[in-house]
């Protein structure tokens, strides 16, 4: 059996094979179109969230009224599914910072949803960053839900969260004692560890308070509403999550090969927040959930044919897992459109300027209208890359490569107000100062002066002509 553990020989092998923090394929899309698809509004996310909360609270009231009658079962089924499954895509979207325009609102959803899912908020933020860096790369991705050869005994109990839920609770308790495993340390930055320990202690305290409530009341009712639904309501999260990557290729740098897009009906799409467009999400994580169907239509010509339904997905996944049970190296072959082989891949979606040296380490980078509000222009000078932005009437320039992985061009990112958001993990920088504004970025970008001379933009890059 292949070793899937992190911080292991498999990890070292993935690094040696160039699979860690590597450059991934991105389907070609125009910068204008990508920018318009990446717009977030508080209003749209608020409507979806209010509907979800209304359903959650309504089902909780029904559950309470129905207590210990025959209606308890269907009421618990609905409440549990909303609590233990539908909180997952809300957690996920707000973790990316793409649901609301406001970071505060995203965090207001992310932290309670983490609790509902038994996930440690900070730990999982970093775990998900790694999942996006190294999707289904063995030894690197902490979110592979089934190792090969797949065992039914590893999947089935998680319909009621038995293995995954108990693992996460045990891990939280361990973190509350200050003990973080080498596997978790492998993706957690040093500065985040004290926060993980503090959050774990707070979470364990709340769990103990719920248990104390049960003892005081002499009843298991509190557990029916909190903690319990993280288990008995987890089934839909597993059923939908199984379709994301299982059976597809491991260790490949193309989401079209290892991630599935399926069509779902509107009810499931609401419960799952459009995460059925999963390949699109992985390829362009800056696009919010509500724009994923439009993104799908935009790049469909470059993607494998989506599966038409959940049932069709399981018709593909189940035989694949049975086959991988006896032959773990077997993977579902996917047909990739031929034309895409010649397309630009990563970095294909950006406006670029043609710099011309004007002496003194300065470069003419175009006329002063060439940088439009909300757009980023990439400037390559020798082996350096810069990014130009217009915020209000002012033009700014920063280093063009994200300081997090040092391989991602910010010119393919998204301007959010006065910040630039990296297209890989949604980290953000202040455009004017270059300072980091959103994890996972921690290190500032260099900033450069841009002046207008006779209607031309001159970037004072401090470089000699290459």
CB of 31 to ligand FES, least distance (A): 17
- Is residue 440 a contact point for ligand FES (CB under 6 A)? yes
> Kind and range of the H or E element at 243?
helix 235-245
Q: Which of 405, 414, 419, 447 contacts ligand FES by CB under 6 A?
A: 405
Per CB under 6 A, the segment of 4-12, 203-211, 360-368, 424-432 that binds ligand FES is 424-432
Residue with smaller CB distance to ligand FES, 331 or 430: 430
- Is residue 431 a contact point for ligand FES (CB under 6 A)? no
- Is residue 427 a contact point for ligand FES (CB under 6 A)? yes
- Is residue 441 a contact point for ligand FES (CB under 6 A)? yes
C-alpha to C-alpha distance for 226 and 238, rounded to whole angstroms: 19
- Is residue 424 a contact point for ligand FES (CB under 6 A)? yes
- Is residue 26 a contact point for ligand FES (CB under 6 A)? no
C-alpha to C-alpha distance for 117 and 105, rounded to whole angstroms: 19
**How many residues sit close enough to ligand FES to count as binding (CB under 6 A)?**
10
Residue with smaller CB distance to ligand FES, 27 or 426: 426
C-alpha to C-alpha distance for 114 and 167, rounded to whole angstroms: 15
- Is residue 282 a contact point for ligand FES (CB under 6 A)? no
Say if residue 73 is exposed, middle or buried (CB neighbours under 10 Å; 0-12, 13-18, 19+).
exposed
What are 302's strand-pairing partners? none
- Is residue 317 a contact point for ligand FES (CB under 6 A)? no
- Is residue 188 a contact point for ligand FES (CB under 6 A)? no
User: DSSP class of residue 99?
Assistant: S
CB of 127 to ligand FES, least distance (A): 14
50-56: Cβ within 8 A, 24+ apart: 51/270, 52/82, 52/86, 52/90, 55/82, 56/82, 56/83, 56/86
CB of 145 to ligand FES, least distance (A): 23
- Is residue 402 a contact point for ligand FES (CB under 6 A)? yes
- Is residue 404 a contact point for ligand FES (CB under 6 A)? yes
For the CA atoms of 108, 109, 114, 115, the dihedral, rounded to the nearest 10 degrees, stands at: 70
Q: Which of 56, 303, 422, 459 contacts ligand FES by CB under 6 A?
A: 422
- Is residue 200 a contact point for ligand FES (CB under 6 A)? no
Q: How far is CA 116 from CA 112, 198, 225, 233, 263, in A?
A: 6, 18, 10, 10, 27
C-alpha to C-alpha distance for 41 and 38, rounded to whole angstroms: 10
Footprint on this chain of ligand FES (rule: CB under 6 A): 402, 404-405, 408, 422, 424-425, 427, 440-441
């Amino acid at each position: 059996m292949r070793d899937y553990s992190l911080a292991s020989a498999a990890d070292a092998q993935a690094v040696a094979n160039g699979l860690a923090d590597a450059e991934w394929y991105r389907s070609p899309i125009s910068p204008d179109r990508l920018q318009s698809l990446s717009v977030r509004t508080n209003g749209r996310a608020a409507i979806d969230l209010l509907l979800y909360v209304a359903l959650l609270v309504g089902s909780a009231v029904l559950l309470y009224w129905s207590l210990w009658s025959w209606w308890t079962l269907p009421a618990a089924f609905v409440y549990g599914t909303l609590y233990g499954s539908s909180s997952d895509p809300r957690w996920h979207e707000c973790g990316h910072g793409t649901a609301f325009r406001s970071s505060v609102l995203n965090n207001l959803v992310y932290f309670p949803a983490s609790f509902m899912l038994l996930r440690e908020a900070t730990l999982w933020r970093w775990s998900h960053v790694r999942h996006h860096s190294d999707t289904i790369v063995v030894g690197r991705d902490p979110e592979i839900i089934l190792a090969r050869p797949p065992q039914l005994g590893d999947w089935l109990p998680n319909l009621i969260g038995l293995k995954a839920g108990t693992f996460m609770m045990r891990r939280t308790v361990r973190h509350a004692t200050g003990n973080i495993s080498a596997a978790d340390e492998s993706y957690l930055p040093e500065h985040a560890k004290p926060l993980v320990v503090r959050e774990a202690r707070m979470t364990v305290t709340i769990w103990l308070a719920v248990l104390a409530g049960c003892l005081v009341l002499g009843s298991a009712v509190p557990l029916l509403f909190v903690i319990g639904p993280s288990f008995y309501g987890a089934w839909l999260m597993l059923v939908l999550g199984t379709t994301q990557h299982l059976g597809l290729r491991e260790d490949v740098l193309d989401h079209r090969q290892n991630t599935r897009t399926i069509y779902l009906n509107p009810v499931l799409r609401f419960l799952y927040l459009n995460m059925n467009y999963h390949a699109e999400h992985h390829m362009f994580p800056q696009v919010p959930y509500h724009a994923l169907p439009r993104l799908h239509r935009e790049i469909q010509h470059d993607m494998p044919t989506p599966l038409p339904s959940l049932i069709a997905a399981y018709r593909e996944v189940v035989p694949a897992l049975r086959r991988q049970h006896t032959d773990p190296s077997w993977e579902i072959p996917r047909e990739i459109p031929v034309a895409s082989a010649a397309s630009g891949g990563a970095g294909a979606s950006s406006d670029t300027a043609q710099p011309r040296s004007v002496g003194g380490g300065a470069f003419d980078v175009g006329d002063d209208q060439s940088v439009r509000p909300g757009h980023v222009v990439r400037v390559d000078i020798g082996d350096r890359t810069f990014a130009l932005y217009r915020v209000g009437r002012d033009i700014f320039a920063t280093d063009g490569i994200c300081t997090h992985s040092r391989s991602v061009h910010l010119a393919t990112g998204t301007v959010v107000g006065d910040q630039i958001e990296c297209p890989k993990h949604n980290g953000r920088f202040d455009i004017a100062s270059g300072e980091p504004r959103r994890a996972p970025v921690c290190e500032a970008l260099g900033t450069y002066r841009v002046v207008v001379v006779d209607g031309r933009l001159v970037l004072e890059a401090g470089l000699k002509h290459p």
